[in-house]
Amino acid sequence: MSGMPASRKIYSDLSAVEGFIPFPDRIRSMAAAHPDLEVLKADGRVRTWAELMPRINRVSNMLTDRGFERGDTIAVLAKSSLEYMEVFLGTLQAGLCIVPLSGMASSVQLEGMIKDCGAKMIFASSGPLSLLEPFINDMPGFGLENRISFDFEADGWTGYEGLLQTASEAEHIADIRPEDPFNLIYSSGTTGVPKGIEQSHSMRAQHTFRFESLGVGPGAVTLSSTALYSNTTLVVMLPTLALGGRVVLMSKFDTEGYLRLAEEEKVTHTMLVPVQYQRILAHEDFGKRDLSHFELKFSTSAPLREGVKLDAINRWPGKLIEMYGLTEGGIGTVLSATDFPDKLASVGKPGEGVDLRIIDEDGNELPIGKVGEICGRSDAMMTGYYNRPDLTEEMLWTSPDGQIFFKSGDMGRFDEDGFLFLLDRKKDMIISGGFNIYAADIEAELVQHPSVADVAVIGVPSDDWGETPLALVVLTGGAGDSEEDIKDWVNDRLGKTQRISGVAFRNDLPRSTIGKVLKRELREEYSR
């Protein structure tokens, strides 16, 4: 039943796996050393290692008893929960590949993802069940025994708890190699079937090493408030488990609930996306909660605006670290905003073991200060897009010395101190009258207006210029400015080639579940 691809390339430097420790080995070690630690908490329910480990073993043994082999894929479409984590960890311990699916995808996309990854078993919770109903009965191999329900009863589904009790809780140890698939994460914000990003055990091991060096370790209490299908969540949550900390899961983020848990659980670490920082810092209860236990706050998925960083530094205890990177890996920067308050407009310097270059349209390297596409390689790079070697190949750039880098699709530049400044997605760059215009530059000016709460700048068709910038603005409460007022204000501060053609007020901006503004949707809406 093996789903392992016939040929596999490793783009990372293999010397990086010399100290390789499989993630399940780390989990077993922590469980043995700290059996009474309340390692997981979700919706008020708790698991100690002594309670969790036998259930992980049952999942592993159940999957192995059913004939699943190295590299086979197990899909999950569910809210964050203790049961979800048991399946996640048990799948890994069996030497299989976990495929966390997004409840924000369409039914058509989910059907495509399941067919693409070849999963023959799926675990689901009641919330996103309606997304599976249009196609699940027609999927080959998805009978009653391979459709497992966490929290509901329905025809054609087997209850998780009953199934678990049929399996042995004896320790299960699989032979796991660095190149074995750890998980498939499907990209968001695309049309059609998203790309499956295959991350290896070696890649995840490097994430653990990296976050250990950043201060995650024994005693850490990590509050995870984004979904388990997002690398944003996994990149901090998994090292916390592997390094002796405990994890508090939110099944759904809400600002008041986050602040309450942060105080009650004496949270020390968290990974948030920019829109969450904005909402938390603006909440009326922010100053009333005891957040003094925080040691490190991470931000990723989209650039955190300079003003928000400064606000977090001034009012939220603990260090603030912004991380820029790709789920695909290869590219990664770290900005300790607390330590470099004069570089808040940047996303920091390349992380440990990361080599970044800036290239032009022809693939030539560019010097410091020049704008081009960001490329990178590191000790943590995906195996490739699952079943899509063509798309993987499109992402590669080979340096003059023969090393393979991943192209980011992001435009940026380095300053003289080695800090990276992001400008735009390559495909979002606006070309007006032959000039390259970066929306990020215009947005950075607009957010300084006291009436602007949120903004996105997109290119819209123009008979005179080909494209022209349009600012989509969400106003602060009570603002009385007109669209023309804000247009005139910002155009007085911009260069001639950057000036916007108009402002359109909106109640909100469409965002992905991890906070990225969906500019493709906006361009479609305003180009009709």
Instruction: Indicate whether 243 pLDDT > 70.
Output: yes
For the stretch 44-80, what's the b/e string if a residue is b when 16 or more beta carbons lie within 10 angstroms of its beta carbon? eeebbbebbbbbbbbbbbbbbeeebebbbbbbbbbbb
Structure confidence at residue 367 (pLDDT):
96
Instruction: Indicate whether 361 pLDDT > 50.
Output: yes
Structure confidence at residue 16 (pLDDT):
53
38-42 and 45-48 strand pairing: antiparallel
The per-residue pLDDT for range 224-233, each reduced to its tens digit, is 999 999 999 9
The per-residue pLDDT for range 376-387, each reduced to its tens digit, is 999 999 999 999
Q: Which long-range contacts (CB under 8 A, 24 or more apart) does 429-435 make?
A: 430/457, 430/458, 430/459, 430/467, 430/468, 430/469, 431/459, 431/466, 431/467, 432/459, 432/462, 432/465, 432/466, 432/467, 432/468, 432/469, 432/497, 433/464, 433/465, 433/466, 433/497, 435/497
Instruction: Indicate whether 451 pLDDT > 80.
Output: yes
Q: For residue 501, what pLDDT band results from cuts at 50, 70 and 90?
A: very high
Structure confidence at residue 3 (pLDDT):
52
Average pLDDT value for the chain:
91
Q: Does domain 22-199 have CATH number 3.40.50.12780?
A: yes
Would the CATH topology of 22-199 be identical to that of 253-368+381-424? Answer: yes
pTM (predicted TM-score): 0.87
Instruction: Indicate whether 206 pLDDT > 80.
Output: yes
The per-residue pLDDT for range 287-318, each reduced to its tens digit, is 999 999 999 999 998 888 899 999 999 999 99
Percent of the chain with pLDDT over 70: 95
Structure confidence at residue 225 (pLDDT):
96
For the stretch 391-420, what's the b/e string if a residue is b when 16 or more beta carbons lie within 10 angstroms of its beta carbon? ebeebbbeeeeeebbbbbebbbbbeeeebb
Q: How many CB atoms lie within 10 A of CB 340?
A: 14
Domain range summary for the chain, segments of one domain joined by + = 22-199, 253-368+381-424, 429-526
Instruction: Indicate whether 5 pLDDT > 60.
Output: no
User: In this predicted structure, which of 139-153, 247-261, 263-277 has the lowest mean pLDDT?
Assistant: 139-153
138 or 9, which is more confident? 138
The residues pairing with 372 across neighbouring beta strands, listed in sequence order, are 412
Q: Of 492, 444, 434, 494, which is closest to residue 468 (Cα–Cα)?
A: 434
Q: For residue 139, what pLDDT band results from cuts at 50, 70 and 90?
A: confident
| Domain boundaries 429-526, CATH class | alpha beta
Phi-psi region of 95 (alpha: psi -120 to 50; beta: other; left: phi over 0): left
N-terminal to C-terminal alpha carbon distance within the chain: 48
CATH number at 253-368+381-424: 3.40.50.12780
Structure confidence at residue 127 (pLDDT):
93
User: In this predicted structure, which of 113-117, 252-256, 482-486, 494-498 has the lowest mean pLDDT?
Assistant: 494-498
Alpha-helix runs per DSSP H in 98-191? 107-117, 129-132, 160-164
Structure confidence at residue 1 (pLDDT):
47
Structure confidence at residue 189 (pLDDT):
52
Q: Of 69, 113, 112, 118, which is closest to residue 94 (Cα–Cα)?
A: 69
